[in-house]
Amino acid sequence: MAKNKPDSVHIDEDSKDKALEHNRVEQQGQYLTTDQGIKIENTDDSLRAGRRGPTLLEDFHFREKMTRFDHERIPERVVHARGSAAHGYFQVYESMKELTRARFLQDPSVKTPVFVRFSTVAGSRGSADTVRDVRGFAVKFYTEEGNFDLVGNNIPVFFIQDGIKFPDVVHAVKPEPHHEMPQAASAHDSFWDFVSLVPETAHMVMWTMSDRALPRSYRMMEGFGVHTFRFVNAEGVSRFVKFHWKPLLGTHSLVWDEAQKLAGKDPDYHRRDLWEAIELGDFPEYELAVQIIEEEAAEKLGIELLDPTKLVPEELVPVRRIGKLTLNRNPTNFFAETEQVAFCVANVVPGIDFTNDPLMQARLFSYLDTQLTRLGGPNFAEIPINRPLAPVHNHQQDGFHRQTINASRANYHPNSLGGGCPMMASAAQGGFTHYPERVRTEKTRVRSESFADHFSQAGMFFRSLSAPEKTHLIDACRFELGKVEIKEIRERVLDLFSNIDGELTARVAEGLGLPAPTTKSIPKSPVQVAPSLSIENTKKDSIKTRRIAALIADGVDAAELIDVRAALEREGAKVKIVAKHLGTVKGEGGHAVEVDKNSITTASVEYDAVLIPGGAASVEALKKDGEALHFLQEAYRHCKPVGATKEGVELLRACGIDPKAPGVVTHAKGGDVATFVTGFTAAIAKHRHWDRADKDRIPA
């Protein structure tokens, strides 16, 4: 039916959920049918000529069932193949009117629906979650003006300065072409060969060797837009903007030994963590933050804003928190939503614009291009998860799997047959106008001189880390380069490192048994040390959602365990009772304690802290149980908080653990439970206690 008025749209937190509802199909109480709706009487036996005879071609149900199965797979993403996603909403704290005309950033009462996909980069769809890698942090905002995709990572810089090198860096890090090894790992010759020959990788390599590449949880990592974007306001004034996501639970990481063990014990560790948190109502929250840089200030900054291997330290340009993202709903179907979602850097709304960062420019092309293959043609924006809530009207048509039935005879512009519709929209009517940046220059393949410094920020990052973080980074380099087979590559990487920092080079060289090259003269960064880059300096004020294992056996002091558990859970932690067998454990005085996990199905690496409750018989049994001893020793070695009450303290001693070591909290007989809980809570909030001098002699 012809209409005179443009469609208007009212968006609230549930709009996308309601839109998806049209595509959800409930199977409960329904008959099994073919794709044509024919009811089926038997799906377990194929149609055959006689009971022992051949299957007949006319069995349309068998053929359809098998054909559909044969074609279930689509190509996995060429990078970021392994991912997990969630729905939620975004709300701005106050109007950003002065900075941008983007409508979803104007009104604090508006809840814009979002879909967020987290991912690893190098591994295949079935690879483990906890590998050393960058994590993707892609957010699709379904705004009233159309979709805005902020396709970021958990690391604020990138390996290369120009997108034309992306196929090279990805080929180098992916499994090697001759034998398709190793899976989801950068610890191999081709990656480090590339690094050693491309010095612009130096800064990002510092990040990927750091604890940032081993997040504890998708809920506990930062996100970054990486490139410099533009905010443009209604007056057409443009300012540069860097986007950040700050997790409200703080930023926390795993240790490498733990990450490797988790990859075997629970390859879905991050996916499960995200899923379970949302199911339990512990909704992950992140603040959107921006660094705003006026055009005039950009030149004086001393940092090339178009170079994606550079960040702008928070110490130089403050980070302003402008709104909050809450993830509150798991997808209904992994394939339909998480797998088929298509993010694109080019999806922006009026008020947000691009810059000439050559990496960003390449990305503006690549995403839609790859999705044409991955999602089987040009109509993937019609897939429910990708469909904007804003109305879509244009003359695009046909192609594989077209859903929309355009009703107009006029499929071109200009037209008179369709009354000139769809119409153009001026800026005042919400039309997107590109920021009219002045471009007057020659065509060239030459990179700007301002992109020449590859080392000042690599050095700044390394210098900004705490001593334990530096050691983790150095150990990571020793591990990765230790896996490199060709000695010349190791030597060339050391040579590269000698442009970054002397201590780094010397300690990595020592681990590799190679001479350390002399340190080169390292260019100075405008900020020499940026404390904000160290995870240790991020907030550590809550134990919400931390997983605590209580190791128990028959004879546990059940009354006290119940008190301690309740107190920790009041702070938002999750206490899991771990024992030799499932069912119940008999507590002192006959209390029965329900067991959550039997020790054969779980391991210390799945927890943030360990509690050893009192009870003489329980502790005596644990002392003779190798699994329990290993559990505790491993957690201690991974620098996790350990709490022990009464006889529980004896188990620490049996494991060679000093009850006075950092992050070990005890309470002797007759002690005050409340004081113990306060101390243990503070130790858990700190997440890890790196300053355990004796941890390396603990066998685990």
State yes or no: residue 138 binds ligand HDE (CB under 6 A): yes
Find the DSSP H helices in 185-232. 189-197, 202-208
Tell me the closest approach of the beta carbon of residue 171 to ligand HDE, in angstroms. 12
- Of the two residues 237 and 368, which places its CB atom closer to ligand HDE in the complex? 368
Stretch that binds ligand HDE, among 185-193, 340-348, 542-550, 687-695 (CB under 6 A): 340-348
From 4, 23, 71, 153, the catalytic residue: 153
Of positions 89, 166, 269, 676, contacts ligand HDE by CB under 6 A: 166
Residue of 80, 87, 203, 252 marked catalytic: 80
Could you give the C-alpha distances from 237 to 92, 104, 320, 361, 392, in angstroms and in order? 21, 18, 19, 22, 28
Q: Select from 366, 411, 519, 584 the one that contacts ligand HDE (CB under 6 A).
A: 366
Q: Which stretch binds ligand HDE (CB under 6 A): 364-372, 433-441, 463-471, 530-538?
A: 364-372
215-244 burial, b at 16+ Cβ within 10 Å, e below that, comes to bbbbbbbbbbbbbbbbbbbeeeebbbbbbb
Two tokens, residue 94: 């106050």
Which residue, 137 or 680, is less far from ligand HDE as judged by CB?
137
Q: Is residue 286 a contact residue for ligand HDE (CB under 6 A)? A: no
Closer to ligand HDE by CB, 187 or 372: give it. Answer: 372
| Cα–Cα distance, 579 to 628 (Å, whole number) | 9
Residue of 112, 153, 379, 534 interacting with ligand HDE (CB under 6 A): 153
Picking from 112, 117, 107, the residue whose alpha carbon sits closest to that of residue 147 is: 112
- State which of residues 113, 123, 152, 388 lies at the interface with ligand HDE (CB under 6 A): 152
At how many degrees (to 10) do helices 673-685 and 558-570 cross?
Answer: 50
Contact map string, positions 341 to 360, toward ligand HDE, x by CB under 6 A: xxx---------------x-
- Known catalytic residue at 153: yes
Contact 657, 700 (CB under 8 A): no
Distance of CA 564 to the CA centre of its chain: 33
Restricted to residues 201-230, the positions that interact with ligand HDE (CB under 6 A) are 226
Question: Would you count residue 477 as binding ligand HDE (CB under 6 A)?
Answer: no
Q: Which x/- pattern, by CB under 6 A, does the window 298-317 give for ligand HDE?
A: ----------x---------
Residue with smaller CB distance to ligand HDE, 218 or 256: 218
Question: What CA–CA distance (Å, rounded) separates 34 from 40?
Answer: 7
- For residues 100 to 119, the per-residue mask of contacts with ligand HDE, x marking binding by CB under 6 A and - elsewhere, is -----------------x-x
Closest distance to ligand HDE from the beta carbon of 662 (Å)? 36
DSSP-derived secondary structure for 619-647: HHHHHT-HHHHHHHHHHHHTT--EEEETT
| DSSP string for residues in 563-622 | HHHHHHHHTT-EEEEEESSSSEEEBGGG-EEE-SEEGGG--GGG-SEEEE---HHHHHHH
Q: In terms of CB distance, is 77 or 689 closer to ligand HDE?
A: 77
The CA-to-CA distance between both ends of the chain, in Å, stands at 72
Applying CB under 6 A, which part among 48-56, 74-82, 104-112, 544-552 lies near ligand HDE? Answer: 74-82
**Burial (CB count within 10 angstroms: exposed 0-12, middle 13-18, buried 19+), residue 426:** exposed
Question: Which of 163, 223, 388, 418 is close enough to bind ligand HDE by CB under 6 A?
Answer: 163
* Tokens found for residue 396: 């695009």
Are 319 and 289 a contacting pair, CB within 8 Å? yes
Residue numbers annotated as active site: 80, 153
> Which residue ranges make up the site for ligand HDE (CB under 6 A)?
77-80, 83, 117, 119, 136, 138, 151-153, 158, 163, 166, 226, 308, 341-343, 359, 362-363, 366-367, 370-371
